[in-house]
Amino acid sequence: MFARSEYRLRITACGAQCYDARARRPLPPLPGRHQTSNQFEVAMPAYRTPLRDMRFLLHDVYDFPGHYQRLEGVEPVDASLLDGILDEIARFTEQQLFPLNLSGDKTGCRLENGVVSTPDGFREAYEAFVAGGWTAVTGAQEWGGQGLPASVGMLVEELTMTTNLAWGMYPALSHGAMNALEIHGTDEQKDVYLRKLHAGTWTGTMCLTEPHCGSDVGLVRTRAEPEADGSYFITGTKIFISAGEHDLGENIVHLVLARLPGAPAGTKGISMFLVPKYLPEGDGIGARNGVSCASIEEKMGIHGNATCVLNFDGARGWLVGAENKGMRCMFTMMNAARLVVGLQGLGQIEAAYQGSAAYAMEREQMRALSGPVAPDRPADPIIVHPDIRRMLLTQKALAEGGRALGYYAGLQADIARNGVDADERALAQKQIDLLTPIVKGFLTEVALECTNHALQIYGGHGFIREHGIEQYVRDTRITLIYEGTTQIQALDLIGRKVLFDGGKTLTELIGQIAATCQELDGHGELGGFATELAALAKEWGELATDLGGRGMENPDEVGAAAVDFLMYSGYVLVGWCWLRMMQQALAATGEDDGFHAGKVHTGSFYFRRLLPRTRTLAATIRDRADALLALPAEAFAR
């Protein structure tokens, strides 16, 4: 079930030595290590695309091929094509991206004389990605895209982010720029820039924040001075710019937030500008523009991605959208990016789970409390210990449940963009707006929990860098921060997505959950879970109503409960997804090799061990804000 690594480390009292596990011959020793006799082996992280899990959702639970037939304005995708796409991106990510994950983390990006070099192998992998047409999967055919549904692109992004998060961010940033230009750009901008972005020869970025403002982009100071020819000179400094400078493509298209002369203060005075690294000339590039990389941030994780400080020194740019309406353009990019970050969290759960599950079956330590399970071995494999099972099942349940939630969001994104009926499109857009902060915030929060579980299962071997497991913890940590922290997602959820429309969208979603629960009422194996989930869904609406009422009296009540409300929302939605998966698994006919039974057992674990977390969350949501705010600020000082 779990892939075994070809390369392992021999751990001895004096150090470690790499060797080829298949040929049983040593590889060159690691620097500073001693070659000594073998004591035991530690498996390096290995990865195998969970194709059966993915296809179970795509075909059995959600019927994506049938869903695609109900869309308009996209290329048709039948079951055979969907499976073919999945097979090909799985092959690419397993064979070309995953092997670069650990080496890219150790090498990182290098800045020399203003030029950024990505880790060895990154450029070749990107060229193969471009040659495969993956950069253009969901783009409009008019501008060089393949015209496939948005959810197909989500599958590609899931697997690139799972196998190599730092690498996957390069094409993901380009995808965000494409979305913004397709919706807000002029025909001329689309013709010049979208064609190159779809082709993958040019890449994109989002240049939003500055040293003094963090997430509060209303404070940006970057200036845009209009020129007689309709262009603008952009001057300012942007920080934390992912993929801001690199050697993967011939040009980089920066989408920059800046202020026009006399613009209103705050977010009402923000405009967006298209600023290329090289100015277009003919069908290629011309002179270097006035944008440069001042430094690469020294980061905790995602070392293979160049996170840059960019200086714009009178760089020539062009307005995207209307003057002072840059926030609208920004959120086009941000909302898509937030879903991608949710997939990043999901991917890190999956990758860390696979590594820790394989390790738990091989690592021998102590005996089972109930007596030896492997009496012919010096100790039992640690997978026999209940707490190891707790951590593994937590990862498994949240990976599979989180994937189901992400795919449901993908369905809604398709309908919002390409649904046949206008009312259907509007309803789906409201749902995807509601789901976006939950997918981003919940999946990244539980990803940090799950990657830490993986490290804990590895024990001391997880804490050292050679085995690669601690990289998942470091890489995951940024996902809770960028594209809007969990706190920002939570305020967006309760404020803009729930209370702003009087809870109508939430009520409609709760109605869908209730319908599933009613369908399973009295079901022998699932009836009790359905009754429990129905009560939680009802409580979800009640909590929102109560919080809205308290917030009208004191807005701090909303801020004090927002993150707990987001997490409550995530647990309920993943519970709904698990109920649907368990229903489908129990309905499966034919020979079962344990896959469907495993689904039911994992779903049962979710309901019995993870969904009860809602009880604590409900209590803290109902508690008053004075628990947080009554202590004077000066009392926090030491």
3-state secondary structure of 615: helix
Closest to 540 measured CA to CA, from 519, 500, 570, 517: 570
3-state secondary structure of 483: coil
Helix, strand, coil percentages in the chain from 3-state DSSP, rounded to 5? 60, 15, 30
What are the phi and psi torsion angles at 292 (to 5°)? Answer: -145, 155
SS3 assignment for 425-482: HHHHHHHHHHHHHHHHHHHHHHHHHHHHHHHHHHCHHHHCHHHCHHHHHHHHHHHHCC
CB < 8 Å & 24+ apart, contacts of 419-422: 419/70, 419/71, 419/72, 420/70, 420/71, 420/72
User: Is-catalytic flag, 158?
Assistant: no
Instruction: Tell me the C-alpha distance between 220 and 239, whole Å.
Output: 11
Structure-token pair, residue 118: 């990505």
Q: Of the listed 94, 470, 483, 539, which one is catalytic?
A: 483
Non-local (6+) Cβ contacts of 31 within 8 A are: none
Instruction: Tell me the C-alpha distance between 298 and 110, whole Å.
Output: 11
Q: How far is CA 183 from the centre of its chain?
A: 23
Closest to 501 measured CA to CA, from 573, 430, 596, 397: 430
Instruction: Tell me the C-alpha distance between 621 and 638, whole Å.
Output: 29
Tokens 């020399």 -> residue: 112
Instruction: Tell me the C-alpha distance between 561 and 480, whole Å.
Output: 18
Instruction: Tell me the C-alpha distance between 512 and 579, whole Å.
Output: 12
Tokens 């020129």 -> residue: 227
User: Helix and strand tally (H, E) in the chain?
Assistant: 21, 15
Closest to 571 measured CA to CA, from 538, 519, 607: 607
Structure-token pair, residue 175: 């995808």
Q: Could you please report the per-residue DSSP string of 270-335?
A: -EEEEEESEEEETTEEEEEPSEEEEEE---SS-TTS-EEEEEEEEEEEEEESSTT-HHHHHHHHHH
Spatial contact of 16 and 466, defined as CB atoms under 8 Å apart: yes
Spatial contact of 439 and 341, defined as CB atoms under 8 Å apart: no
- Catalytic center residues: 483
